[in-house]
Amino acid sequence: MSSSEPLVLINGSPEASVSPLDRGLAFGDGVFRTIRMEGGRPLWWRDHLVKLESDCRCLGLAAPEPGVWQQDIAWLSARRPDAVLKLMVTRGPGPRGYCPPNNPSLTRIVAASALPAFPDPLAETGMRLRVCDLRLGHQPRLAGVKHLNRLENVLARMEWDDPAIDEGLLLDTDGLAISGVMSNLFIRHGGVWRTPAIDRCGVAGVSRGRLIERLDVKVDRFGLDAVLAADSVLLSNSLIRVRWVSALAERRWSRPPDFAAILEDLR
What are the residues binding a copy of itself (CB under 8 A)?
6, 8, 10, 17-29, 32, 34, 59-60, 84, 86, 88, 90, 95-100, 109, 111, 113, 134, 136-139, 141-142, 147-158, 173, 181-182, 201
Q: Are 245 and 129 in contact (CB under 8 A)?
A: yes
Least distance CB 137 / a copy of itself (angstroms):
4
List CB contacts of 150: < 8 A, sequence separation 6 or more: 28
CB nearer a copy of itself, residue 153 or residue 232: 153
CB nearer a copy of itself, residue 15 or residue 250: 15
CB nearer a copy of itself, residue 90 or residue 184: 90
Q: Are 266 and 242 in contact (CB under 8 A)?
A: yes
CB nearer a copy of itself, residue 82 or residue 152: 152
Return the H-helix or E-strand segment holding 266: helix 259-266
Least distance CB 254 / a copy of itself (angstroms):
28
Least distance CB 100 / a copy of itself (angstroms):
6
CA gap 99, 201 in Å, rounded: 24
CB nearer a copy of itself, residue 142 or residue 212: 142
List CB contacts of 186: < 8 A, sequence separation 6 or more: 193, 194, 195, 211, 215, 217, 233, 234, 235, 236
SS3 (DSSP) at 191: coil
Least distance CB 267 / a copy of itself (angstroms):
23
